[in-house]
Structure 1
């Protein structure tokens, strides 16, 4: 399956000398994307920390790692070296720092990982300036329609068929189950993926002692989607301390099981400050249809803001709006720290324009204000020509993102 991230990586290798970090959930396609790039260059080598002989090479001499790559030859494209899951090595950051400092003029380097690469930017980053991070997301509406690089954040609308749209909602955006669209395979794949994530990645990597209780938390979160996280309530249900729930939630986010969205507070009267809303990376497992719809939209919005940020369009972020008087709007996208797109999600096109959209728009003055109707057919009109709050087709709107 062709992904837009292949074009992103190709462009990166042509323009930049920094390492390319591909970070994202298990089985989202990181390895496949890097292999596609490797197949397009004359000389490449891939090392996977999970493979014993590759791990021995990494822990051995640098000469053994680069053996077979013509690093001193004058060529149109540099040799490519791929490190897969190297974040499982305790000294991985120092290892890569030494490697890129020695060979950045002779090698292109791609690093992939299903965790921790996304937190490398926090304090004490020894790799600062040596890599660009690309966060890989599941397939989205726009990516099904086009995998070409975009020059602007917003693209012209493009029609998605009802069959494609329904399959994306029901089978999720992870490439393998979406491509197969077989319910039996989907169920088997889901069970295996969750078991690998919880038992192999988290249980081993984070030394969690109470795996069964962590599994309970993961299951409970499926029923919390779109709601504000009440840590004390979850602690009572799982029967662990409040601090433990907070730590486990951070771990589940680190390993791409879920993500949280914080409330936007700037220029919002009586705004909430602390409570995040929770969503899953795989919207297809959300049992409640209304919550699944909201998660589907949230995932598309998160993909868009992270893609735009990673590709250098500017700094984008995703929030929700809620005040102490219980006025609420589902999502706000900010662009360079200013309100840009205000979004309310509704299942039906028959629902009236939300008064809360108008209420918050008066306060924050977002450039665009949309109510997305999930059941509304595709409309071949650019949503972003609207200058006032408007109800639009979710299919049309999502086709204009990433």
Structure 2
């Protein structure tokens, strides 16, 4: 698919920085994007052992051959290159001189912070967001199908069976990426850990319970979850920092970036996810929160996303501050709008009465509504 939304922002940054970095999960479309949209650049994959051998044997000569307008894909495979890149871009002062790409966020970002700080503009390319899916004609009318299919490009571009795709993805991820990030010997237990994380998607993160149910230590649970976050499988959503004189929940909530992978780990297979399924509401919430994150990444938005909950179980599912307004969201999978769906947003507003607040309900129906104090938006229409 040409014209990923990120493209226009990338073009701007190439004029302002010598190095542009594109990171994101494996198979999110980074290589395809770079080859299609950056065709003026030479493309080099550092997963090729022969190429890596050249880098290791003589990095200076390597960069002399590839002196400008080059894409280095899977660049985390050759961390030795970064200090030489620093020297070269400082000397040449060419904007857009190199594009670096990689799918292991920790290794890549560690190398960047050590050698290339201030010289790079960083983008995250995730699986398709719903706006991109809609533009390509791939967004299903049916909510259940949308959630179980997920958003990984290959499923739609190559017409793959989603169940088989995610089965292969998990096996490849555990056997390759996880092994590179951390020496995990018991891969069966790690796979169970992933499934238990999926079971807790949209819920407060409790390391002790997660460790106990997996049969591992608290420290191991933290380390393994860090691996999932580093490789763009899961992410934490932090609590909003203002307490409004109430006892606040301080633990983050756990989410998955892709609902197709989430459903697979929950044992939910194609084609239909029953709205009566006990996890349906959590999966829908995950869909919406992850969509907001993907819009942040793909549209270069600087929105810090949070949730809010107090000790009395009053909760706002999602909120962020923008242009002096506090935008708060209630997320409900129901196709029917009920008055009680607005209750928690009103409760929050009463605590935060000094703030300008915009209240929005995102629900599982198909029609948008404008009400006196609220916006009601269909899940299909939450595009920036």
TM-score by length of 2: 0.85
Q: Which residue of 2 aligns with 1:297?
A: 288
The 8 Å contact of residues 21 and 134 in structure 1, kept in 2 or not, is answered as yes
Any unmatched runs of 5+ in structure 2?
267-278
Q: Structure 1 residues 307, 178: closer, same or farther in 2, change over 3 A?
A: same
In 1, distance between residues paired with 2:95 and 2:8?
A: 22
State the shift of 1:303 in Å.
1.6
Q: Structure 1 residues 92, 296: closer, same or farther in 2, change over 3 A?
A: farther
Q: Which residue of 2 aligns with 1:86?
A: 75
The correspondence of residues 142-157 of structure 1 with structure 2, limited to 5 A, is 142-146=131-135
The correspondence of residues 39-78 of structure 1 with structure 2, limited to 5 A, is 39=39, 41=40, 44-62=41-59, 64-66=61-63
SS of aligned partner of 1:139 = coil
In 2, distance between residues paired with 1:243 and 1:231?
A: 9
2:251 to 275, 288, 296: 275
Q: Structure 1 residues 5, 391: closer, same or farther in 2, change over 3 A?
A: closer
Q: Structure 1 residues 20, 107: closer, same or farther in 2, change over 3 A?
A: closer
Q: Structure 1 residues 199, 111: closer, same or farther in 2, change over 3 A?
A: same
The 8 Å contact of residues 263 and 319 in structure 1, kept in 2 or not, is answered as yes
Q: Which residue of 1 aligns with 2:348?
A: 360
State the shift of 1:59 in Å.
1.8
In 2, distance between residues paired with 1:355 and 1:248?
A: 37
Q: Structure 1 residues 117, 82: closer, same or farther in 2, change over 3 A?
A: farther
The 8 Å contact of residues 93 and 127 in structure 1, kept in 2 or not, is answered as yes
State the shift of 1:114 in Å.
0.8
Q: Structure 1 residues 324, 93: closer, same or farther in 2, change over 3 A?
A: farther
Q: Which residue of 2 aligns with 1:75?
A: none
The 8 Å contact of residues 259 and 283 in structure 2, kept in 1 or not, is answered as yes
The 8 Å contact of residues 268 and 360 in structure 1, kept in 2 or not, is answered as no
Q: Which residue of 2 aligns with 1:23?
A: 23
The 8 Å contact of residues 23 and 118 in structure 1, kept in 2 or not, is answered as no
The 8 Å contact of residues 317 and 333 in structure 1, kept in 2 or not, is answered as yes
State the shift of 1:35 in Å.
0.8
In 2, distance between residues paired with 1:256 and 1:9?
A: 20
SS of aligned partner of 1:128 = coil
In 1, distance between residues paired with 2:326 and 2:356?
A: 5
Instruction: Answer yes or no: is 1:331 the counterpart of 2:318.
Output: yes
2:328 to 342, 345, 348: 342
State the shift of 1:301 in Å.
1.0
State the shift of 1:181 in Å.
4.8
1:369 to 359, 372, 383: 359
State the shift of 1:36 in Å.
1.3
List 4+ stretches of structure 1 deviating above 4 A: 66-69, 121-124, 159-162, 164-167
State the shift of 1:171 in Å.
1.2
Q: Structure 1 residues 190, 124: closer, same or farther in 2, change over 3 A?
A: closer
State the shift of 1:328 in Å.
1.0
Q: Structure 1 residues 209, 170: closer, same or farther in 2, change over 3 A?
A: closer
SS of aligned partner of 1:264 = coil
The 8 Å contact of residues 357 and 389 in structure 1, kept in 2 or not, is answered as no
1:240 to 213, 216, 228: 216
State the shift of 1:387 in Å.
6.8
SS of aligned partner of 1:388 = coil
Any unmatched runs of 5+ in structure 1?
72-78, 148-158
The 8 Å contact of residues 377 and 395 in structure 1, kept in 2 or not, is answered as yes
Q: Which residue of 1 aligns with 2:379?
A: 394
In 1, distance between residues paired with 2:80 and 2:65?
A: 25
1:116 to 105, 111, 131: 105
State the shift of 1:87 in Å.
1.4
Residues 123-158 of structure 1, C-alpha deviations (whole Å, 9 max, x = no match):
9643211101101122122223459xxxxxxxxxxx
Range moving further from structure 2, 228-237 or 211-220: 211-220
Q: Which residue of 1 aligns with 2:309?
A: 322
1:126 to 108, 115, 127: 115
Length, aligned pairs only? 364
Q: Structure 1 residues 119, 233: closer, same or farther in 2, change over 3 A?
A: farther
1:193 to 146, 160, 169: 169
State the shift of 1:302 in Å.
1.0
The 8 Å contact of residues 23 and 30 in structure 1, kept in 2 or not, is answered as yes
